[in-house]
Amino acid sequence: MPASCACCGEPAARGTLTRGRVGSGLIVGYCDDCSAHVGRDVTRRLSGVVASSLLGGGLALSLPFADRPPSIVALSLYVLVAAIVPVVVVVLWPRRPAPGHSADGPAARFVADGVLLCANDRYAAELARANDAKHELATFRERRFAAWLLVPAPLCAAAGVATLVITSPLVRVVNLGTERVTIDVDGRRVVAVDPTSVENASAGAEVRITAGEHELVARTAAGRELERTHVRVEGGHPHLFAPGSEGYCFWLESAEYGRGRANEPLREPLEGTQHFWVLPPDLGGFFRPVPEQARAETRLTGGTVTVLRQAPCGADP
Ligand SMILES: [Zn+2]
Ligand SMILES: [Zn+2]
């Protein structure tokens, strides 16, 4: 190796290992001054990755908590774009070497086919002469891109989608018919629900659906459409979807306590033409009377416990 600095041509003070593709490497000499900038491109790519993670991760963990969270597709897109912007800046921003230097990062690096690319042509010529190698004049290109720059973007998008799904409102689907039904949300099959007729706290299935407008379709196993409805899922509320539940009545039952006496439970029927309801955010249970334990607790603190109940219309449990 020439005894001069690979960047400025002054006498070299220390060697830096420059790795090739297959694990071999060369010790390239740099002067003190130039040693300072050899690692700069790695630092820049590293800060690109940090900025990408912060922007993408920040959006991934905040957008799902917005009043109107975006859909899964929109959220992934926002997060991906935000995480890619710092990478694009790092990759496209050209850096000029300072006066007297021939490179801003390392002045020699291996390119894909095992060729050593040198920023300083005098150094390259000297190196070729000393090693009996062929030397060509080429433009020095800095390595501004690395595959790992792209790692945070899909990870952040995945984290955003997971957060959105985990924090999405619950929809309890009950099937009061006689056949098993399948539920499609926006054209995607999400759950199959077996029939139940008696009131049962574990009846039906719970699915998480992102807040916002959705189309729900219930079908029987034979493919017959039982119900198709456009609904608005509200953040922070539980919901009830009871396709094909003609003949059944649903109501909210509130037990009020406080001031040392218990009132008769208050009943508020669920009405509407579609079999989908947004329930109170503090719902205390599904398809069972107000639990005794809750009675005891609210008797102490004063307050109300509300549960959702169900029965064939006209019957009184
Ligand atoms: Zn130098
Ligand atoms: Zn230099």
> Which ligand sits nearest to residue 101's alpha carbon?
2
Q: Which ligand is nearest to the CA of 37?
A: 2
pLDDT at position 261 over 70: no
Average pLDDT, stretch 51-55?
97
Tell me, what's the pLDDT at 114?
76
Q: Residue 145 Cα, ligand 2 centroid: separation in angstroms?
A: 21
- For ligand 1, the distance from its centroid to the CA atom of residue 36, given in whole angstroms, is 9
What pLDDT does 291 receive?
72
Q: Which residues does 264 contact at the CB level (< 8 Å), separation at least 6? A: none
pLDDT confidence bin for 139, thresholds 50/70/90: confident
Among all bound ligands, the one having the nearest atom to the CA of 6 is 1
Q: Which of 46-60, 78-92, 137-151 has the lowest mean pLDDT?
A: 137-151
What is the total residue count of the chain?
317
Distance 134 CA to ligand 2 centre (A): 24
Q: Which residues contact 193 (CB under 8 A, 6 or more apart)?
A: 173, 174, 175, 180, 181, 182, 183, 204, 205
Chain centroid, CA 298 distance in Å: 39
Distances (CA, A) of 173 to 75, 126, 134, 229, 238: 26, 77, 74, 13, 11
- Ramachandran angles phi, psi of 20, nearest 5°: -90, -175
Ligand showing the shortest atom-to-Cα distance for residue 36: 2
Decide: pTM greater than 0.85.
no
For residue 83, give the nearest of 155, 147, 177 by alpha carbon.
155
Q: Which ligand is nearest to the CA of 4?
A: 1
Nearest to 90 by CA among 46, 39, 128, 57: 46
Angle at 126 between CA 123 and CA 131, to 5 degrees: 125
Measure 44 CA to ligand 2 centroid, in angstroms: 17
Question: In whole angstroms, what is the distance from residue 140 CA to residue 116 CA?
Answer: 10
Which among 312, 289, 34, 301 is positioned nearest to 176, based on CA atoms?
312
The pLDDT tens digits of the residues spanning 101-136 come to 999 989 998 887 778 899 999 999 999 998 888 888
CA–centroid distance, residue 5 to ligand 1 (Å):
5
Nearest ligand (C-alpha, residue 98): 2
Q: Which long-range contacts (CB under 8 A, 24 or more apart) does 39-43 make?
A: 39/105, 40/104, 40/105, 41/104, 41/105, 41/106, 41/142, 41/143, 41/144, 42/105
Give residue 150's pLDDT band: very low, low, confident or very high (50, 70, 90).
very high
Q: Taking residues 266-278, report their average pLDDT.
A: 90
> Distance of alpha carbon 152 from its chain centroid, rounded?
11
**pLDDT of 292 higher than 80:** no
pLDDT for residue 219 is more than 70: yes
- Res. 142: pLDDT tops 70: yes
Give the Å distance between the CA of 10 and the centre of ligand 1.
6
Q: How are the residues of the chain apportioned to helix, strand and coil, as percentages rounded to the nearest 5?
A: 30, 30, 40
**Which residue, chain included where needed, has tokens 């959702």?**
308
- Ligand 1: distance of its center to the CA of 38 in Å? 10
Ligand 2 centre to CA of 22 (Å) is 27
Ligand closest to Cα of 13 equals 1
Calculate how far, in angstroms, residue 44's C-alpha sits from the geometric centre of ligand 1. 20
Beta bridge partners of 254: 266, 306
For residue 64, which of 158, 156, 163 has the smallest C-alpha distance? 163
Say yes or no to pLDDT of 207 above 60: yes
Please give the distance, rounded to the nearest whole angstrom, from the Cα atom of residue 18 to the centre of ligand 1: 16
